[in-house]
């Protein structure tokens, strides 16, 4: 070693000093080794946590489209005016210096110029304690930002105010993000901003995406609604310091297909300095946009059905309409009334409005999520069971008069108890029994065929079953099991009630649409389909289109063609027989409709006032059925299915006819 021999011959004191130096240097070296090599990772992660902020970037939510690609739900760009605080730290400092209390002190001249007179000097060196400094810098920041907000307001021609509380909260919690001073600018304000701002004001427009429903409350229950939710979803990195606005589906398809619609949120890191201001940013995982949802709904039919309901029953009517393609189970229109505007929820609904919706029970999807007694529209199932069991449709059956009400018939269960009928007493064949909806006839027919047959057939129509609707609002209805109807508790009166669609059976309008579709198409029960496919938002992207199969067969009812033909004919009479038919107001010239009206009395309960459910269930055209239309209206007023619901179906069929005509015309023109 270079110095060693030198010290050997020297005095011990120098060697002692050399030893002390060596020990000191070795201590330093060991310390540095410990800090820089052994615990480097720990300090590097310290550095990262104090200098990076992660931000969750929500992906563009997929659109919801009707069967022809018309928009039902999409994202609308909204521009917010925001202040970038990272550009302002210099101004904050100078404002702080300006605000600092000043002290004027006499200043003696420097000692080499002692002859000069003493002057005064202003110093900012007034001692402030921590909380004073904090309050003063808060004031300084507020002054600067308030001034900018004021200028910005002048330039876009709208006076703006800065809420100190909101600003301070933003400053304390999310300094690295821009601070919004005016949300959703209109077109005029955007134009004025673009004209008047040269970029020196630390203010800029920020793009934000807001869920938009261009048809407001149309198909609200199918679409559902969203609420603000910025949390990480399954499969995402859960740790983010900041989160940008995102939504989560609550009900409807927005909820049922939420993962597919929302895509995958990404993330970016913002490098911040010691004061928390933004320095640079890197997107480490770009968001993957969600998929578009293409529905089976037909916007025209949906609009027609909604308009028909409103026209005949008003906007607050408690009602539902389902239009289904009988050939494959595709839902063409599904209306539940009263409806809500999903856009209200996306924008943030007011409490008053929400209470109003609650009072109307508007959130409930009455087409799928409420049990209704089917009343007389259930008689088609009793008819088929009876016909299959050997009922002769041409055999006359005499209905006796009600002893208390001689104008109407009745069915005697025993000498002292009878079931009231709305149809008059007299002679009934099958067709007239359907047309006049004779309770007595069908109770007798059902009792003859046996309630087990009726229940078994209803089971084949999949009544009493849920299907896992993606709208997440569903009930399966009620249907007694074969065991239950065989049990000794089951009485003749119960059978009589089932035969007229009361008592132990309950259905949803969607289920009845499935039933009537099966009757129309010759006996095939399909899985109802609401969503046709999922496709990528960007059509150029080579991403698989996820097509949901149409016409998925659920079961066959196994009823002979003869029985169905007899029933079809009788149902045609319901609308076309102007003397006996009860559903004649559904008639549309040029379209033969097979229908069945129904009325079910609802006993008073906690949830519902005493009233009636009126029904009109139908399919058309008679020759080769394509559409099933089911209309249900809840009402406290006395009426009938034919009077309340058939006119609504009439309007819908009219639209269907016009649509088919124009389509045929187009095809003709094309040829």
Partner 1 sequence: MFPTQIVPKESFDRLQIAALVGLMLLGTAFVYSATSASNAAAGVAWFNQAWARQLVWYALGLGAAIALCVVDYHTLARWSFVAYWGMMLCLVAVLIPGLGKTHGWGAQRWIDLGPFQFQPSEFAKLAFILAGANFLSRPVDELRQPLIFWQGMGLLLLPCALIIKEPDLGSALVLVPTGLVMMLVAGTPRKYLLLLIGTVGLLGGLLLADVLLAPPRWQVPMQEYQRQRLLVYFGKDFAPANATLAQKAAARELQSDKSYQSRQALISVGSGGLWGQGWGQGKQTALSFLPPSAAHNDFIFSVIAEEEGFVGSLVVLTLYAVILFSGLRIAGQARDRLGKLVAVGVVTLLFSHVFINIGMNIRIVPVTGIPLPLLSYGGSSVLCSLIALGLMQNIHIHRRGY
Angle between helix axes 379-388 and 439-449 (nearest 10 degrees) is: 40
> Does 44 help bind partner 1 (rule: CB under 8 A)?
yes
> Does 134 help bind partner 1 (rule: CB under 8 A)?
no
Among 122, 169, 279, 492, contact with partner 1 (rule: CB under 8 A): 279
Q: CA torsion sign, 368 to 374 to 377 to 378?
A: positive
> Does 272 help bind partner 1 (rule: CB under 8 A)?
yes
> Does 37 help bind partner 1 (rule: CB under 8 A)?
yes
- What's the closest the beta carbon of residue 368 comes to partner 1, in angstroms? 56
> Which residues 6+ apart lie within 8 Å of 453 measured at CB?
385, 388, 389
Among 43, 98, 392, 482, contact with partner 1 (rule: CB under 8 A): 43
> Does 104 help bind partner 1 (rule: CB under 8 A)?
no
Q: Which residues of 573-603 are buried (b: 16+ CB within 10 A; e: fewer)?
A: bbbbbeeebbbbbbbbeebebbbbbbbbebe
- What's the closest the beta carbon of residue 22 comes to partner 1, in angstroms? 8
Among 98, 103, 125, 562, contact with partner 1 (rule: CB under 8 A): 125
| CB burial of residue 325 (10 Å; 0-12, 13-18, 19+) | buried
Size, binding site for partner 1 by CB under 8 A: 47
> Does 32 help bind partner 1 (rule: CB under 8 A)?
yes
Q: What's the DSSP call for residue 528?
A: P
Among 104, 130, 637, 669, contact with partner 1 (rule: CB under 8 A): 130
> Does 126 help bind partner 1 (rule: CB under 8 A)?
no
Q: What's the DSSP call for residue 395?
A: S
* Nearer to partner 1 among residue 41 and residue 671 (C-beta): 41
Enter the tokens of residue 288: 């993957």
* Nearer to partner 1 among residue 18 and residue 310 (C-beta): 18
> Does 133 help bind partner 1 (rule: CB under 8 A)?
no
> Does 657 help bind partner 1 (rule: CB under 8 A)?
no
Among 110, 117, 119, 488, contact with partner 1 (rule: CB under 8 A): 110
| Contact range with partner 1 by CB under 8 A, out of 95-103, 110-118, 447-455, 473-481 | 110-118
- What's the closest the beta carbon of residue 9 comes to partner 1, in angstroms? 8
Residue 10 CB coordination number (10 Å):
11
> Does 17 help bind partner 1 (rule: CB under 8 A)?
yes
* Nearer to partner 1 among residue 29 and residue 191 (C-beta): 29
Distances from the Cα of 445 to the Cα of 19, 154, 253, 470, angstroms = 117, 81, 42, 38
Nearest-angstrom CA–CA distance, 232 and 243: 9
> Does 103 help bind partner 1 (rule: CB under 8 A)?
no
| Contact range with partner 1 by CB under 8 A, out of 43-51, 160-168, 585-593, 637-645 | 43-51
Helix (H, G, I), strand (E, B) or coil at 542: coil
Among 13, 120, 198, 395, contact with partner 1 (rule: CB under 8 A): 13
Given a contact cutoff of 8 angstroms between Cβ atoms, the answer to whether 664 and 656 are in contact is: no
The percent helix, strand, coil of the chain (3-state, each to 5) is 40, 25, 35
> Does 24 help bind partner 1 (rule: CB under 8 A)?
yes
Enter the tokens of residue 93: 């400092």
Nearest-angstrom CA–CA distance, 22 and 101: 52
> Does 395 help bind partner 1 (rule: CB under 8 A)?
no
Strand partners of residue 549:
none
Nearest-angstrom CA–CA distance, 294 and 280: 40
Residues within the interface to partner 1 (CB under 8 A): 2-3, 6-7, 10, 13-14, 16-18, 20-21, 24-25, 27-29, 31-37, 39-40, 42-44, 46-47, 50-51, 90, 107-108, 110-112, 125, 130, 271-275, 279
């Amino acid at each position: 070693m270079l110095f060693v021999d030198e010290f050997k011959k020297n005095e011990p004191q120098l060697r002692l000093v050399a030893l002390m130096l060596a020990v000191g240097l070795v201590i330093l070296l060991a310390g540095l080794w410990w800090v820089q090599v052994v615990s480097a990772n720990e300090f590097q992660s310290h550095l990262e946590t104090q200098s990076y902020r992660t931000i969750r970037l929500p992906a563009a939510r997929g659109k919801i489209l009707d069967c022809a690609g018309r928009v039902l739900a999409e994202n609308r760009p909204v521009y917010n005016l925001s202040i970038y605080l990272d550009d302002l730290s210099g101004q904050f400092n100078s404002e702080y210096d300006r605000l600092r209390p000043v002290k004027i002190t006499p200043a003696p001249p420097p000692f080499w110029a002692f002859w000069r007179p003493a002057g005064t000097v202003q110093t900012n060196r007034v001692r402030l304690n921590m909380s004073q400094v904090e309050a003063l810098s808060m004031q300084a920041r507020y002054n600067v930002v308030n001034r900018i907000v004021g200028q910005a307001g002048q330039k876009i021609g709208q006076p703006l105010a800065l809420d100190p509380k909101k600003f301070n909260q933003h400053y304390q919690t999310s300094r690295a993000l821009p601070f919004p001073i005016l949300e959703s600018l209109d077109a005029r304000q955007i134009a004025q901003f673009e004209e008047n701002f040269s970029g020196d004001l630390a203010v800029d427009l920020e793009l934000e995406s807001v869920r938009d429903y261009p048809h407001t409350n149309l198909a609200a229950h199918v679409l559902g609604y969203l609420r603000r939710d910025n949390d990480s979803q399954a499969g995402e990195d859960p740790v983010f310091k900041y989160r940008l606005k995102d939504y989560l589906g609550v009900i409807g398809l927005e909820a049922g297909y939420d993962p597919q619609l929302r895509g995958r949120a990404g993330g970016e890191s913002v490098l911040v300095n010691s004061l928390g201001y933004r320095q640079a940013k890197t997107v480490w995982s770009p968001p993957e946009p969600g998929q578009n949802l293409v529905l089976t709904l037909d916007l025209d039919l949906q609009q027609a059905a909604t308009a028909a309901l409103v026209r005949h029953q008003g906007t607050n009517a408690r009602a539902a309409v389902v239009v289904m393609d009988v050939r494959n189970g595709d839902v063409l229109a599904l209306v539940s009334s009263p409806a809500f505007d999903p856009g209200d929820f996306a924008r943030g609904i007011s409490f008053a409005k929400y209470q109003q919706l609650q009072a109307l029970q508007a959130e409930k999807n009455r087409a799928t999520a409420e049990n209704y007694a089917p009343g007389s529209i259930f008689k088609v199932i009793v008819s088929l069971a009876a016909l299959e069991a050997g009922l002769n449709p041409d055999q006359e059956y005499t209905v006796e008069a009600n002893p208390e009400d001689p104008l109407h018939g009745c069915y005697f269960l025993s000498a002292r108890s009878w079931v009231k009928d709305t149809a008059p007493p007299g002679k009934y064949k099958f067709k007239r029994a359907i047309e006049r909806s004779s309770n007595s006839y069908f109770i007798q027919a059902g009792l003859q065929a046996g309630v087990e047959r009726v229940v078994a057939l209803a089971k084949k129509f999949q009544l009493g079953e849920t299907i896992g609707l993606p709208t997440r609002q569903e009930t399966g209805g009620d249907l007694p099991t074969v065991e239950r109807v065989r049990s000794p508790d089951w009485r003749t009166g119960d059978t009589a009630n089932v035969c007229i669609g009361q008592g132990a059976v309950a259905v949803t309008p969607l289920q009845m649409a499935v039933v009537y579709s099966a009757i129309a198409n010759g006996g095939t029960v399909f899985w109802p389909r609401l969503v046709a496919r999922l496709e990528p938002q960007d059509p150029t992207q080579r991403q698989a289109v996820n097509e949901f199969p149409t016409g998925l067969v659920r079961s066959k009812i196994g009823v002979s063609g003869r029985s169905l033909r007899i029933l079809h004919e009788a149902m045609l009479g319901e609308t076309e027989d102007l003397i006996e038919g009860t559903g004649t107001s559904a008639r549309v010239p040029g379209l033969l409709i097979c229908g069945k009206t129904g009325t079910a009395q609802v006993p008073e309960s906690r949830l519902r006032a005493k009233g009636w459910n009126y029904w009109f269930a139908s399919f058309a055209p008679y020759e080769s059925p394509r559409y099933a239309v089911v209309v249900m209206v809840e009402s406290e007023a006395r009426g009938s299915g034919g009077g309340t619901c058939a006119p609504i179906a009439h309007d819908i069929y009219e639209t269907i006819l016009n649509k088919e005509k124009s389509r045929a015309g187009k095809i003709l023109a094309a040829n």
